[in-house]
């Protein structure tokens, strides 16, 4: 993902990054947090 936007600052690149963060990355981090919190 970083390579796509490292030198591109278009609205479509921003929209794609925001979608990725909200739909793919954040749920993974949230699940990891919940798993680790339950184990500690």
pLDDT in tens, 1-40: 556 656 657 888 889 989 999 999 999 999 999 999 999 8
The domain spans of the chain are 2-39
Q: What is the pTM of this model?
A: 0.66
Question: 7 φ, ψ to 5°?
Answer: -130, 20
Question: 11 φ, ψ to 5°?
Answer: -60, -40
Report the distance separating Cα 5 and Cα 34, nearest Å: 30
């Amino acid at each position: 993902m970083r390579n796509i936007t490292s030198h591109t600052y278009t609205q479509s690149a921003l929209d794609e990054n925001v979608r990725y963060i909200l739909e793919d990355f954040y749920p993974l981090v949230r699940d990891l947090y919940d798993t680790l919190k339950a184990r500690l």
